[in-house]
Structure 1
Amino acid sequence: MKLVVLGGGESGVGTALLGKKKQLEVFVSDYGTIQEKYKKVLIYSGIHWEEQQHSEELILDADVVMKSPGIPETAPIVRRLMTAGIPVISEIEFAARYTAAELIAITGSNGKTTTTLLTHHLLKEGGKQVGMAGNIGDSFAKMVSENDYDPYVLEISSFQLDGIIDFKPHIAVITNITPDHLDRYEYRFENYIASKFRIAENQDENDYLIYDADDPVLVDWLAKHPVKSRLLPFSLEKELEFGAYLNENKIVIKTAEDTMEIMRDTVALEGKHNLKNTMAAATVANLVRIRKETLRNSIANFQGAEHRLEKVLKIHHVQYINDSKATNVNATYYALDSMKTPTVWIVGGVDKGNDYNELMPLVREKVKAIICLGNDNSKIVDAFGNIAELLVETYSMEEAVKVAYKVARRGDTVLLSPACASFDLFENYEDRGNQFKQAIKRL
Structure 2
Amino acid sequence: MKDGLATKQVVVIGLGMTGLSVVRHLQRLDEVSCIKVIDTRQNPPGVDQLPDDVALHSGGWNSDWLHSADLIVSSPGIALASPELQRAAAQGIEIIGDIELFARSVTAPVIGITGSNGKSTVTSLVGEMAKHDGIDVGVGGNIGHAALDMLADNHELYILELSSFQLETTSSLDLTAAAFLNLSEDHMDRYEGMEDYKAAKLRIFDQCRLAVWNNDDAQTQPVNSADEATFGFSHGKYSLTSSEQGEWLSVDEKPLLAVSDIALVGRHNVANCLAAMALADAANISRQAQYSAIKEYGGLPHRCQTVLNANGVLWVNDSKATNLASTLAALDGLTLNGRLHLLLGGDGKGADFSALQPALNALNAQIYCFGKDGTVLAELSDDAITTVTMDEAMSEAYARTVQGDMVLLSPACASLDQFANFMERGDTFCCVAKALNDGRKVSL
TM-score by length of 1: 0.91
Number of residue pairs matched by the alignment: 422
What's the CA shift for 1:35?
Answer: 4.2
- What is the CA–CA distance in structure 1 between the aligned matches of 2:26 and 2:252, rounded to whole Å? 41
- The match for 2:207 is 202
Pairing 1:31–2:40 present: yes
Q: Distance in 2 between matches of 1:79 and 1:294?
A: 47
CA–CA distance in structure 1, aligned partners of residues 122 and 129 of structure 2: 10
User: Paired residue for 1:214?
Assistant: 216
1:100 offset after TM fit, Å? 0.7
- Find the residue that maps to 1:79 and give its secondary structure: helix
Aligned equivalent of 2:410:
417
Alpha-carbon shift at residue 101 of structure 1 (Å): 1.2
For the Cα contact (< 8 Å) 2:137–2:157, is it kept in 1?
Answer: yes
Paired AA for residue 394 in structure 1: T
- CA distance in structure 1 between the partners assigned to 2:12 and 2:43 by the alignment: 13
Q: Which residue of 1 aligns with 2:291?
A: 296
Does residue 149 of the first structure (1) align with residue 162 of the second (2)? no
- Deviation at residue 301 of structure 1 after TM alignment: 0.6
2:384 counterpart SS class:
strand
In structure 2, how many angstroms separate the alpha carbons of the residues matched to 1:383 and 1:119?
37
For 1:4, the equivalent position in structure 2 comes to 11
Alpha-carbon separation, structure 1, partners of 2:146 and 2:217: 30
- Structure 1 counterpart SS, 2:135: coil
Which of 168, 179, 187 is the matching residue for 1:173? Answer: 179
What residue in structure 1 maps to residue 366 of structure 2? 369
Cα offsets for 1:34-57 (capped at 9, x unmatched):
545x2232226x433232233322
Once the two structures are superposed, the pairs formed by residues 240-279 of structure 1 within 5 Å of their partners are 240=236, 242-248=237-243, 249-254=247-252, 261-279=256-274
Equivalent of 1:281 in 272, 276, 282:
276
Say which of 402, 419, 423 aligns to 1:430: 423
Q: Which amino acid aligns with 1:163?
A: T
C-alpha separation between the residues in 1 aligned to 2:386 and 2:207? 48
Q: Distance in 1 between matches of 2:56 and 2:108?
A: 30
What amino acid maps onto 1:209 in structure 2? A
Query: CA–CA distance in 1 between the matches of 2:349 and 2:47?
Result: 32
Q: Shift of the alpha carbon at 1:371?
A: 0.6
CA drift of 1:318 comes to: 0.5
Distance (whole Å) between structure 2 residues aligned to residue 16 and residue 167 of structure 1: 20
Matched residue SS, 1:43: coil
Structure 1 equivalent of residue 109 of structure 2: 102
Report the alpha carbon displacement of residue 138 of structure 1 after superposing the two structures with TM. 1.9
Shift of 1:171: 0.7
Distance in 2 between the 1:406 and 1:247 partners? 43
User: Aligned equivalents of 1:170 and 1:128: distance in 2?
Assistant: 15
Q: Give the residue type in structure 2 aligned to 1:116.
A: T
- Please show how residues 20-419 of structure 1 align to structure 2 within 5 Å: 20-23=27-30, 24-25=32-33, 26-35=35-44, 38-43=46-51, 46-144=53-151, 146-186=152-192, 188-203=193-208, 207-219=209-221, 222=222, 225=223, 227-238=224-235, 240=236, 242-248=237-243, 249-254=247-252, 261-341=256-336, 342-385=339-382, 390-419=383-412
Structure 1 position 177, deviation (Å) = 0.5
CA contact (8 A) 2:317 2:410 kept: yes
Letter in 2 for 1:441: K
Please report how far the alpha carbon of residue 28 of structure 1 lies from its aligned counterpart in structure 2 after TM superposition.
1.4
Question: Counterparts of 2:270 and 2:279 in 1: how far apart (Å)?
Answer: 14
Local SS of the residue matching 1:13: helix
Distance in 2, Cα, partners of 1:246 & 1:48? 59
Q: 1:363 is aligned with what amino acid?
A: L
- 1:364, CA displacement in angstroms? 1.1
Structure 2 gap segments, 5+ residues each:
1-6, 437-444
- How far, CA to CA, are the matches of 1:116 and 1:34 in structure 2? 32
Contact 2:129–2:292 (CA under 8 A) maintained in structure 1: no
> 1:380 is aligned with what amino acid?
L
CA contact (8 A) 2:176 2:283 kept: no
CA distance in structure 2 between the partners assigned to 1:244 and 1:12 by the alignment: 40
Q: Aligned partners of 1:117 and 1:142: how far apart in 2? A: 17
CA deviation after TM superposition for structure 1 residue 314, in Å? 0.5
How far does residue 435 in structure 1 lie from its aligned partner after superposition?
0.7
State how far apart, in whole Å, the 1-side matches of 2:226 and 2:10 are.
32
Unaligned runs of at least 5 residues, structure 1: none
Task: Give, in whole Å, the separation in 1 of the partners of 2:101 and 2:169.
Answer: 9
Q: 1:129 to 1:229 in 2, by over 3 A?
A: farther
Q: Which residue of 1 aligns with 2:442?
A: none
Report if the CA contact (8 A) 1:320-1:414 is conserved. yes
C-alpha distance after superposition, 1:323-356 (max 9, x if no partner)? 1110111110011114211311000111222222
Displacement, 1:169? 1.3
Counterpart code for 1:27? K
Q: RMSD of the alignment, in Å?
A: 1.8
Which residue of 1 is the match for residue 4 of structure 2?
none
Same amino acid, percent of matched pairs: 32
Instruction: Give the Å deviation of 1:260.
Output: 7.0
- The CA deviation at 1:118 is 0.8
Q: Is the 8 A contact 1:345 1:367 kept in 2?
A: no
Deviations 1:340-377 (A, max 9, x none): 11311000111222222322222012142111111342
Aligned-pair CA distance for 1:65: 0.8
For the 8 Å contact 1:318–1:411, the answer to whether it is kept is: yes
The alignment partner of 2:213 has SS state of strand
Distance 1:90 1:294 in 2: 33
CA distance in 2: counterparts of 1:218 and 1:287, whole angstroms = 19
Partner deviation per Cα, 1:260-297 (whole Å, 9 max, x = no partner): 71121111112111001111112222222222222212
Inter-partner Cα distance in structure 1 for 2:289 and 2:173: 31
Alignment-mate amino acid for residue 419 of structure 1: A
